[in-house]
């Protein structure tokens, strides 16, 4: 088949690294980058180090409101699909790029294949939740990462289109987890960062936690009081706020860095004492690595990780963070809900047997 794959954000690049490797053994893939993550440290570095094919189209669409961004993507993606006339469109996850591509394809009667279908937070106040629901209901085939996600699709009347294949991010994690590590982590001035022998690893980018100084100050002050430094890989839009809070609060135990590449992130995850994040992807990677994680959000993104204190929901409150960091994990090491690391191959197996 000829398949157009649309990506636009860091988590999708990680998934496409595994997905494109498998797809291109049997199919012709046209890769489209919407440009949603346009900073080189959030985009280019992933294509380079993960061996992702260079995009056939780079639409350069970033910034603006959700509606403006989605509308511009819808217009440009429709043009690409009309030109390429693919047999199917494949999308990952829950970004504006995902939903815009699904809408453009379904209106052109092109079958949509959604990888990581069925995830739900249970609230439309989260913009990604809207993207998930719309994309799932536009899709011909739904590839769920877990049985829980499949059951949620079934409750929405989509069960006949759904297949549990495992989490494709686990494919990429395993591909990089045991490779040699040559850190390429730099601070805000571009100077190399020496990774401490003992450290905590943190990412924090969601609007709820970084839109004002208050929540991020609480998080950073908690991390600053720990028994080892925290490496905080900062999203570009939060650089100024993070630096201001660090200087104002005299946070000498927090190391602010530019966004890190995937290999660096995997190895930081594997070697960290514990992890604090609001990233759905990083909480899963912490789970794969067996490292305890705090997820700073009001909603459970991956309920499978919330077992035996491996992953705990946490408020952006220093007392709550410190109390939960002190809790021990008690998880069965044989508990593996995300498959066997061969999700991409399973997707290709299904495409061989299912008529679109």
Report the alpha-carbon distance of residue 50 to residue 175 in Å, rounded. Answer: 10
Residue 351's contacts (CB-CB under 8 Å, 6 or more residues apart) are 1, 26, 27, 113, 141
Phi first, then psi: what are they for 247, rounded to 5°?
-70, -40
Alpha carbon of residue 119 to chain centroid: 13
Distances in whole angstroms, Cα of residue 232 to Cα of each of 32, 185, 270, 320, 323: 30, 11, 15, 19, 20
Q: Could you list the active site residues?
A: 205
Token reading at 192: 């190399």
Of 70, 107, 94, 264, the closest CA to residue 182 belongs to: 264
263 within 8 A of 246, measured Cβ to Cβ: no
Angle value at C-alpha 112, between 108 and 116, nearest 5 degrees? 150
E strands within the chain? 2-7, 28-33, 57-58, 88-92, 112-117, 141-144, 162-164, 200-203, 230-233, 254-257, 275-277, 293-296, 311-314
Task: Classify 287 as helix, strand or coil.
Answer: helix
- As given in the structure block, the two tokens for residue 2 are 């000829």
d(CA 328, CA 68): 45
Name beta bridge partners: 276: 202, 294
């Amino acid at each position: 088949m000829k398949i157009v794959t649309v990506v636009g954000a860091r988590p999708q690049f990680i998934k496409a690294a595994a997905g494109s490797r498998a797809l291109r053994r049997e199919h012709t893939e046209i890769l489209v980058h919407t440009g949603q993550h346009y900073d080189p440290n959030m985009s280019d570095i992933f294509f380079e180090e993960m061996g992702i094919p260079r995009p056939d189209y780079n639409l350069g669409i970033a910034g603006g409101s959700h509606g403006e961004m989605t509308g511009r993507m819808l217009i440009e993606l429709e043009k690409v699909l009309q030109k390429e006339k693919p047999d199917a469109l494949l999308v990952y996850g829950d970004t504006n790029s995902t939903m815009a591509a699904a809408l453009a394809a379904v209106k052109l009667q092109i079958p949509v294949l959604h990888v990581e279908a069925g995830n739900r937070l249970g609230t439309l106040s989260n913009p990604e939740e809207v993207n998930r629901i719309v994309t799932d209901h536009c899709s011909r085939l739904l590839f769920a990462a877990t049985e829980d996600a499949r059951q949620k699709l079934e409750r929405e009347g989509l069960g006949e289109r759904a297949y549990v294949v495992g989490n494709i991010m686990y494919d990429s994690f395993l591909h990089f987890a045991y490779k040699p590590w040559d850190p390429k982590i730099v601070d805000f001035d571009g100077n190399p960062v020496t990774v401490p022998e003992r450290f905590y690893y943190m990412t924090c980018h969601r609007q709820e936690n970084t839109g004002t100084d208050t929540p991020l100050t609480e998080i950073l002050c908690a991390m600053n009081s720990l028994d080892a430094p925290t490496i905080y890989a900062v999203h570009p839009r939060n650089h100024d706020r993070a630096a201001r809070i660090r200087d104002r609060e005299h946070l000498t135990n927090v190391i602010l860095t530019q966004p890190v590449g995937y290999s660096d992130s995997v190895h930081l995850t594997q070697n960290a004492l514990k992890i604090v994040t609001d990233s759905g992807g990083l909480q899963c990677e912490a789970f794969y690595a067996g490292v305890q994680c705090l997820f700073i959000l009001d909603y459970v993104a991956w309920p499978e990780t919330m077992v035996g204190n491996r992953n705990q929901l946490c408020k952006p409150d220093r007392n709550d963070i410190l109390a939960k960091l002190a809790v021990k994990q008690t998880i069965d090491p044989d508990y593996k809900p995300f498959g066997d690391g061969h999700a991409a191959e399973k997707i290709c197996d299904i495409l061989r047997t299912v008529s679109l």
